[in-house]
Amino acid sequence: MIAIIDYGMGNLRSVQKGFEKVGYQAEIVTKPERLADYQGVVLPGVGAFADAMKNLKQMGMVEAIQNITASNRPFLGICLGQQLLFESSEEWGETPGLGIFAGQVRRLPSTGLKVPHIGWNQIELQRPSPLLVGIPNGTAFYFVHSYYVAPADQAIVLTTTEYGIYFASIVGQKNTFGIQFHPEKSSRWGLEILKNFGKLVDAC
> Quick one: three-class SS letters along 158-182?
EEEEEECEEEEEEEEECCEEEECCC
Spell out the residues 6+ positions from residue 177 whose beta carbon is closer than 8 angstroms to its own.
Answer: 74, 75, 76, 77, 129, 131, 158, 170, 171, 197
* Residue-range definition of the domain harbouring residue 141: 2-203
What is the DSSP secondary structure assignment for residue 109, as one 8-state letter? P
Predicted local confidence at residue 204, as pLDDT: 87
Q: Which CATH number do you get for residue 155?
A: 3.40.50.880
Which has the closest alpha carbon to 15: 157, 181, 201, 148?
A: 181
Predicted local confidence at residue 11, as pLDDT: 80
Predicted local confidence at residue 5, as pLDDT: 98
Catalytic site includes residue 94: no
Distance of alpha carbon 178 from alpha carbon 170, whole angstroms = 6
Among candidate residues 91, 117, 145, 184, the one labeled active-site is 184
Predicted local confidence at residue 92, as pLDDT: 85
The parts of the chain modelled with pLDDT lower than 70 are none
Angle at 87 between CA 13 and CA 80, to 5 degrees: 20
Predicted local confidence at residue 35, as pLDDT: 95
Predicted local confidence at residue 93, as pLDDT: 87
Predicted local confidence at residue 61, as pLDDT: 97
Among candidate residues 91, 117, 182, 192, the one labeled active-site is 182
Catalytic site includes residue 182: yes
Catalytic site includes residue 184: yes
Question: What is the number of structural domains in the chain?
Answer: 1
Among candidate residues 27, 79, 117, 192, the one labeled active-site is 79
- Condensed to tens digits (0 to 9), the pLDDT of residues 66-87 reads 999 999 999 999 999 999 999 9
